[in-house]
Amino acid sequence: MDKQGPPRILILGYGNPGREDDGMGPGIVEELEKLQLPGLTLDADYQLSIEHAADLEQADKVIFVDAAVKGPEPFQLKRLEASRSIEFTSHALGPESVLAICEDTYQWRPEALLVGVRGYSFEFAEGLTEKARQNRSKALELIKLLIDQWRGKNMAGETEKTILIIDDDPDIRKATRIVLESAGFGVGEASTGEEGLKTAKKIKPDAILLDLMMETVDAGSKVSTQLKEGGFTAPIFLLSSVGDAVRYNIDAQELGLAGIFQKPIDHKTLLSTLKAELGL
């Protein structure tokens, strides 16, 4: 099915607001409703069902939003694929299954993402815990950023710039890839310093996001030095979980770094910095 025009975006939050942080998905939809963003379809429910496949058929891009019992803070972002091993439980039908139903019934499968926002308490009571509210705010900023980038990319097209992510955490690589691709960047990945050096030579990226601590605590700084010694001139940004103290332990200028991003990455700052550095 060929669907033209601006991307039709659906945000589908699900969960039970009567069980504390389980109400995360509907809560984020409620916050988005207050913003009254044009051209955006919002839906909230206690759980996913077969009927939601009809909603997906009317969308080009879908973000499922749910509370996560465990996983990274403040949220996990991942791309979804259709799954035909449909399992019905007392709790919910999974988003991958709803995608498969949509594809089989309507011969259409929108691009779909899942934002799993970390929750902490799921007792029978209304309202989010304080930490969950903080995570909700950060997830909401991410979702608004994705919406803006999708709309902007539709108008401006691809950037023709490629970013290489070198990080041993697959969740960080996946989430960062999604955000970069939403803004029109091409993306390469590597999980070790050695693989990163080989990939950089192969794809010749326009910028590199390089984790500080991989095989060793200073793997990132060593890779940066080797890249510069090998003639790599594009900007390199270090990713660090250590915190602001890394700025005092690592000489960014000496290593030829364009900057340092602290994990969890502020994706809005990441995109604005990359675009400024690359003249976009």
Q: What does the DSSP assignment read for the chain?
A: ----SSPPEEEEEES-TTBGGGGHHHHHHHHHHHHT-TTEEEEEESS--TTHHHHHHT-SEEEEEEEESSSSSSEEEEE----------SS---HHHHHHHHHHHHS---EEEEEEEE----SSBSS--HHHHHHHHHHHHHHHHHHHHHHHHHHH-----EEEEE-S-HHHHHHHHHHHHHTT-EEEEESSHHHHHHHHHHH--SEEEEES-SSSTTHHHHHHHHHHHTT--S-EEEEESS-TTHHHHS-TTTTT-SEEEESSP-HHHHHHHHHHHTT-
User: Of 70-74, 94-98, 249-253, where does mean pLDDT reach its minimum?
Assistant: 249-253
- pLDDT at residue 181, as a whole number: 94
pLDDT digits (tens, 9 = 90+) for 74-125: 999 999 999 876 554 434 689 999 999 999 999 999 999 999 999 999 999 9
* Chain mean pLDDT for the chain: 89
Q: How far is CA 107 from CA 53, 61, 65, 102, in A?
A: 11, 15, 24, 7
Whether 153 shows a pLDDT value over 80: the answer reads no
- pLDDT at residue 91, as a whole number: 47
pLDDT band at 251 (very low <50, low <70, confident <90, very high): low
- pLDDT at residue 151, as a whole number: 85
- pLDDT at residue 222, as a whole number: 87
pLDDT band at 1 (very low <50, low <70, confident <90, very high): very low
- pLDDT at residue 46, as a whole number: 95
Whether 245 shows a pLDDT value over 70: the answer reads no
31: amino acid identity, one letter: E
As a whole number, mean pLDDT of residues 242-269 equals 75
Whether 242 shows a pLDDT value over 70: the answer reads no
Residue 260, strand partner residues: 238
- pLDDT at residue 241, as a whole number: 78
Domains of the chain: 9-155 (3.40.50.1450), 159-277 (3.40.50.2300)
Whether 165 shows a pLDDT value over 80: the answer reads yes
- pLDDT at residue 8, as a whole number: 94
- pLDDT at residue 2, as a whole number: 45
Whether 240 shows a pLDDT value over 80: the answer reads yes
As a whole number, mean pLDDT of residues 225-253 equals 77
- pLDDT at residue 89, as a whole number: 42
Report the percentage of the chain scoring pLDDT > 70: 90
Cα torsion angle, 96, 99, 104, 107, sign = negative
Report the percentage of the chain scoring pLDDT > 90: 74
- pLDDT at residue 244, as a whole number: 45
